A = this chain, B = another copy of it.
Amino acid sequence: MPSYRAPVEDVLFLLNDVLGIHRHDNLPGFADASPDVVEAVLSEGGKLAEEMLAPVNLPGDQEGCTRNADGSVATPKGFKAAYDAYAAGGWMGLSVPEEFGGQGLPQILNTAIQEFASSANLALAMYPGLTQGAIAALLVHGSEEQKKTYLPKMVEGAWTGTMNLTEPHCGTDLGLLKTKAAPNGDGSYSLTGTKIFISAGEHDMSENIVHLVIARIEGAPAGTKGISLFVVPKFLVNADGSVGERNGVSCGSIEHKMGIHGNSTCVMNYDGAKGWLVGEANRGLNAMFVMMNEARLAVGVQGLGQSEVAYQNAVAYAKDRLQGRALTGAKAPEKAADPIIVHPDVRRTLMQIRAFNEAARALVLWTALQSDIVHRSQDAKERQAADDHMGLMTPVVKGVLTDRGFENAVAAQQLFGGHGYIEEWGMSQFVRDARIAMIYEGANGIQAMDLIGRKLPKDGGRAMMTFLGEVQTFIKDHNEDEALKAFTGPLQAALNDLQGATMWFMQNAMAKPDNAGAGATDYMHLLGLVAMGYMWARIAKAAAARKRQGTGSAERMDSKLVTGRFYMERMLPETAVRLARIKVGADTTMALPVEAF
């Protein structure tokens, strides 16, 4: 049975020492997040993940969800109790404004809790995760009445939320959607169509399910310009706010998936279901994008979450499993063999995952901090800079953290040998669960295209120029710092590769867009490598400062410095091959006629 321990101390170090969140105490909610509140929130959230969510993860995978003949869906044993504990603890509304029942604390804290929950039980964490996404969309685009009707119930966890985009013939290309909305004349609409891959579409954990659904109003333009967003509750809501009669939406079937078996992935049938427009007609994609950005960051966190839990279990196994002797002579001569952690190839695997996890966590929290600034700052310039960062880093957090998170789960599984392939050990589940994060909320190839086609050129490349400038300034400011030499040198080389790639696209992709497409994935990973390299440099700076001050555990800080050096020496140099591939361009990639495949 796999285990999980929330990395509370690491998060605290990142928040306090690396990101210095208390410099932002002028933002609403931040002053409330005093150091002891932050510590209490993280410890309690960690405990919830460890004690309530993790124990039902493996059994939930093995049992899965069941659709009954009446269209209801049963979640695995123990899921409802764990979900209830999550809701009762007030976690759903951690960062939601107090007027809707939330606690108004910074989103950065909620992000840390999302990581814990994803590590402990991804399938389960998705139920509140999707609810938080729906809350975010209603907060921004819902009418006052909609907010009053839905938010308090969702924030207390009595009602959950979903996001209905995909149809059988369209996923990425939502302009093709066929679901129709006909006005009923009373302000409501009647929705008809089929949605697929709807996570948490039907289940037994909440009194009501609030579906956010995109559809085309009769007579609206074709393509993406005719898409509107609707709120469609499973049960209509009475005037007094209580749950009323059943709406015309039902689960037609549930999917048999590779993983996240504990989450019910539904085909949802809308048969004249009553819905209400959210935001403006035909501007549904805009409203949905709010939800999608939140969701994309959360999915990136899921990649990190699976990498972290897989790492923890691989470490435990590597310390325990006796097999062979160290190349440098027996390390446990009293035993029949040495624990496999003595072998350099095992050590390399663990270091690689660990070096990713710490930097990815920093990148995620840094980005969540920008989200707080976007939503809470009074300073327009600060808001713009934060928004630039969010736009640039969202595809990276989603695409890179899930690609690597999956790879790391596979690498951790590998250390178990044959046992890794046996379901009872739980490593297979981490791999199977991590796999979905590369696909949903926009497959990673789409993230790469979003980065290179939209985020990079936006506002004349302002976001990227700012990022490049920030990293360059950091290097200049710390070039003479002996403690950071092992960091600034490699970071400069990687930054040069990123600059070279960016320049190459400016010169070669305008006239020939296929050059952008063929290099998009490499560019996304190149930016991810540099962003995580920058995170390591900042972590190293904070760790060195702690050592100088003599506060906290010197061993802990030394471990960070070693792990960071590993990243700089062995992982960051990958930027060179990414750049080389980008510069090849699209010619050979696109040369074959379609029939040749």
Convert A505-542 into 0s and 1s, putting 1 for each residue whose CB lies closer than 8 angstroms to a CB of B.
00000000110111011000000000000000000000
Is residue A485 contacting chain B, with contact meaning CB distance below 8 A? no
Nearest chain B residue, comparing its CB with the CB of A516:
B327
Is residue A341 contacting chain B, with contact meaning CB distance below 8 A? yes
Whether the pair A418, B347 counts as a contact (CB closer than 8 A) is: no
- Bound Cα distance from A315 to B343, whole angstroms: 41
Is residue A591 contacting chain B, with contact meaning CB distance below 8 A? yes
Whether the pair B436, A421 counts as a contact (CB closer than 8 A) is: yes
Whether the pair B439, A589 counts as a contact (CB closer than 8 A) is: no
Q: Which B residues lie within 8 Å of A432 (CB)?
A: 258, 432
Whether the pair A439, B422 counts as a contact (CB closer than 8 A) is: no
Q: Which B residues lie within 8 Å of A257 (CB)?
A: 421-423, 428
Pick the interface stretch among A81-89, A186-194, A379-387, A557-565: A557-565
Among candidates B258, B328, B351, B514, residue contacting A328 with C-beta atoms closer than 8 Å: B514
Give 9 pairs: A residue, B residue, CB < 8 Å, sorted on A: A173-B337, A344-B589, A345-B448, A345-B517, A351-B588, A562-B588, A566-B589, A569-B588, A576-B576
Pick the interface stretch among A316-324, A463-471, A473-481: A316-324
Q: Which B residues lie within 8 Å of A445 (CB)?
A: 343, 345-346, 349, 414
**Which residues of A from 283 to 332 have beta carbons under 8 Å from B?**
315, 318-319, 322-324, 327-328
A170 to chain B: closest CB distance in Å? 7
Whether the pair B570, A581 counts as a contact (CB closer than 8 A) is: yes
The 7 closest A-B pairs by CB, nearest first: A344-B517, A327-B513, A258-B428, A344-B518, A173-B323, A345-B445, A256-B423
Q: Which B residues lie within 8 Å of A169 (CB)?
A: 322
Whether the pair B348, A589 counts as a contact (CB closer than 8 A) is: yes
Is residue A501 contacting chain B, with contact meaning CB distance below 8 A? no
Convert A550-584 into 0s and 1s, putting 1 for each residue whose CB lies closer than 8 angstroms to a CB of B.
00000100010011011001100110110011001
Whether the pair A173, B588 counts as a contact (CB closer than 8 A) is: no
Is residue A443 contacting chain B, with contact meaning CB distance below 8 A? yes
Q: Which B residues lie within 8 Å of A164 (CB)?
A: none
Convert A234-265 into 0s and 1s, putting 1 for each residue whose CB lies closer than 8 angstroms to a CB of B.
00000000000000000000011111000000
A302 to chain B: closest CB distance in Å? 14
**Which residues of A from 430 to 444 have beta carbons under 8 Å from B?**
431-432, 435-436, 438-440, 443-444
Is residue A545 contacting chain B, with contact meaning CB distance below 8 A? no
Nearest chain B residue, comparing its CB with the CB of A520:
B345
- A418-B439, A436-B421, A443-B414 given as contacts; is B588 within 8 A of A566 (CB)? yes
Among candidates B171, B424, B431, B562, residue contacting A592 with C-beta atoms closer than 8 Å: B562
A464 to chain B: closest CB distance in Å? 20
- Bound Cα distance from A420 to B424, whole angstroms: 24
Convert A333-358 into 0s and 1s, putting 1 for each residue whose CB lies closer than 8 angstroms to a CB of B.
00011010101111111110010000
Q: Which B residues lie within 8 Å of A34 (CB)?
A: none
- Bound Cα distance from A347 to B592, whole angstroms: 9
Is residue A417 contacting chain B, with contact meaning CB distance below 8 A? yes
- A323-B172, A432-B258, A586-B344 given as contacts; is B555 within 8 A of A596 (CB)? yes
Q: Which B residues lie within 8 Å of A341 (CB)?
A: 594, 597
- Bound Cα distance from A25 to B262, whole angstroms: 59
- Bound Cα distance from A594 to B576, whole angstroms: 32
A404 to chain B: closest CB distance in Å? 13
Q: Which B residues lie within 8 Å of A573 (CB)?
A: 577, 580-581
Is residue A449 contacting chain B, with contact meaning CB distance below 8 A? yes
- Bound Cα distance from A573 to B584, whole angstroms: 11
A253 to chain B: closest CB distance in Å? 11
A462 to chain B: closest CB distance in Å? 23
Is residue A396 contacting chain B, with contact meaning CB distance below 8 A? no
Whether the pair B171, A344 counts as a contact (CB closer than 8 A) is: no
- Bound Cα distance from A328 to B518, whole angstroms: 13
Is residue A278 contacting chain B, with contact meaning CB distance below 8 A? no
Is residue A48 contacting chain B, with contact meaning CB distance below 8 A? no
- Bound Cα distance from A417 to B432, whole angstroms: 15
A416 to chain B: closest CB distance in Å? 8
Q: Which B residues lie within 8 Å of A410 (CB)?
A: 406, 435
- Bound Cα distance from A196 to B414, whole angstroms: 18
- Bound Cα distance from A414 to B439, whole angstroms: 7
Q: Which B residues lie within 8 Å of A139 (CB)?
A: none
Q: Which B residues lie within 8 Å of A37 (CB)?
A: none
Convert A150-162 into 0s and 1s, putting 1 for each residue whose CB lies closer than 8 angstroms to a CB of B.
0000000000000
Whether the pair A348, B256 counts as a contact (CB closer than 8 A) is: no
Whether the pair B570, A584 counts as a contact (CB closer than 8 A) is: yes
Q: Which B residues lie within 8 Å of A196 (CB)?
A: 418
Q: Which B residues lie within 8 Å of A562 (CB)?
A: 588, 591-592
- Bound Cα distance from A337 to B167, whole angstroms: 15
Q: Which B residues lie within 8 Å of A270 (CB)?
A: none
Among candidates B170, B435, B589, residue contacting A347 with C-beta atoms closer than 8 Å: B589
Whether the pair A347, B590 counts as a contact (CB closer than 8 A) is: yes
